[in-house]
Structure 1
Amino acid sequence: MEVRRDVFQAIADPTRRQIIAMVARQPLHVNAIAESFNVSRQAVSLHVKILTECGLVVIKKQGRERYCEARLEQLEEVTTWVDHCRQFWATQFKALDNYLQQVQTDKKTKR
């Protein structure tokens, strides 16, 4: 059974977020990425595999090395979701603020 990966799975893990940040600055080979973490190269390779499955990283071969390049367009899905949530909660908090102001006004007029 094949697991469908999405960008939210990719950014859910702090190690993968660090890898994204690293390769966003410059393409790096897997060994260079692995040297930055206190985990095995195989563990880093698994993280990179997940990032490639989500479309956030592409692997380009240069000679014998495999370089990871960031493809951050996929993060637009996250941005859209966050913006939607931000708008929703801003509306909710504004309504709560209006309600609390009305309660305060009602208290003052009943005194």
Structure 2
Amino acid sequence: MTTTDPRAALDALIAEYSTRANSIRQDLASSHSPDFAEQAVQRENDEVLEALLAETEAALRRAGLAKLRLADGSYGYCQRCGEPIEPARLAVLPAAEYCLGCADLAH
């Protein structure tokens, strides 16, 4: 079994989410077509991009909070029940805040 370095995994996530957010922001900042019909489609695309940006920024915040938990020694423990989060879960979701049981309760 290979153990994942949580700091490296979180740094990689933060880099990925930051790149994605910057790319979305650039797309949102691009100008729209002067053609009204084309502009309407572009505005709808902007709504999708804004939702993707919000989702990406939330994931970036979760990864940043996970790094803070890593620094203060609470990383890997469920934020709800205090029990250890399963290593397999952390390997797949390095920014996981909850154990599997508590994650099911949150949704």
TM-score, normalized by the shorter chain, greater than 0.5: no
Choose between structure 1 and 2: higher strand proportion: 1
Kindly name which structure, 1 or 2, has the bigger radius of gyration based on alpha carbons: 1
TM-score where L is the length of structure 2: 0.35
TM-score where L is the length of structure 1: 0.34
